Amino acid sequence: MDWRRSWAIVGILLAAALWLPGAATAQQPIKIGAILPLTGGFAYSGLSQMNAMKIAQEEINAKGGVLGRKIMLLVEDGACNPAQSVNAAEKLITRDKVVALLGAFCSSATGAVMEIARRYEIPLITGVSTSPLLTEQGNKWFFRAQATSRLMARAVMDYMVKQHKIKTLAFLCSNNDWGRGVVKEYGDAIRGFGGRVLAEEYYAEPDTDFYSYLTKIKALNPDAIAMAADEQHGAGIMKQIREVGIRAKLFGEGPWTTDAYLRIAGAASHGFMAVIEYIHLVEHPANKAFLAKYMERHKENPTKYSAAGHTILNILVDGIRRAKSTDAGKLRDALEKTDYSGFTGTFRFDAKHQAYNFDIFIAEIRDGKPLVVGKTKIGKPS
């Protein structure tokens, strides 16, 4: 056999090896799609989640990735808009060929994307959406690594009733699935303690004037006002509450401890009690390392949305590792057996794919800074 023929055979063998499925995929990153609000009212919170996901991606890849492959995070702006989020999901699945989706932040957007995940049979994990309805739909491709408003309401109202003697409650919330969920679940919770709901008020996205809502609420003289709002609306509401002279206890779900909100709200934020799933003050070795990285890179504290992003990407990669595959069905089955230790506890999923066994916190804003005043564990849903 002459040298020309020998080298020709070697070339053919090398080409064949490169086209073997294992050899080809070994060099390709595992693509993971994320749908977040990078524009609109929740843009700051969406960006903080994306920032943390990128840190998690770097940490995972620095350790060799998963299944011998790097991961590649592909982020699309869903703007908390259901239609835009659906378009983003379609693109990520059909064009980018992602193996799973993370998102879509707001409950209304996540609910819309859930149907896309079901249609294409691809796992979807949210770390933010709290509407209890999402895990009641029997969608076997959807997982929530977050407490529902129902689970948080039971724990928080127990604290508010026992510690602050709350008997009457008014609501001022965003007019979306999240806000309506907060009103229903916290309302049911206080009624369960023998209390009453005096008002249910909803503001619209364009609103900046909340005086009419607040004047009505003040006249009813509730013991407390519960709110669900983004940074801009929340800060506006708090400033106008001070102007109107309401003396009720103030608490709620949302970005009430973020650096951005505290800057905008200023002194008006004092005394507010935030219901949160994470706070940068958490005493956990992994959180200290994460906090240092986030602060160095972004010059501000990570938010609860940051922690959620870091957690759900790690939960997904943990599932891929245990599945030993990116096959959607095998990955879904592995996610059902999740036992992931995060910053705030261990995340497990029940039969409806609702996470439990992690902590939530109540943080009171004092002199412009959050201070943890209460903590409770989210138990397995009954």
Model confidence pLDDT, tens digit, residues 82-128: 999 999 999 999 999 999 999 999 999 999 999 999 999 999 999 99
Model confidence pLDDT, tens digit, residues 213-257: 999 999 999 999 999 999 999 999 999 999 999 999 999 999 999
Model confidence pLDDT, tens digit, residues 11-59: 444 444 444 444 444 579 999 999 999 999 899 999 999 999 999 999 9
Q: How many angstroms separate the CA atoms of 208 and 174, rounded?
A: 12
* For residues 66-70, average pLDDT: 98
Please spell the DSSP secondary structure of 258-295, one letter per residue. Answer: SHHHHHHHGGGGTT-EEEES--TT---HHHHHHHHHHH
- Which residues have CB under 8 Å from 198's CB, separation 6+? 168, 169, 170, 217, 220, 222
CB atoms within 10 A of CB 308: 28
Q: How many angstroms separate the CA atoms of 99 and 1, rounded?
A: 47
Q: How many angstroms separate the CA atoms of 251 and 92, rounded?
A: 37
> Average pLDDT of the chain?
93
CATH 3.40.50.2300: which residues of the chain? Answer: 24-147+282-349, 150-276+363-377
Helix (H, G, I), strand (E, B) or coil at 250: strand
* For residues 244-273, average pLDDT: 96
Q: Confidence band (pLDDT; 50, 70, 90) for 155?
A: confident
Q: How many angstroms separate the CA atoms of 59 and 65, rounded?
A: 9
Second CATH level (architecture) for the domain 150-276+363-377 = 3-Layer(aba) Sandwich (3.40)
Instruction: Note the CATH number of domain 24-147+282-349.
Output: 3.40.50.2300
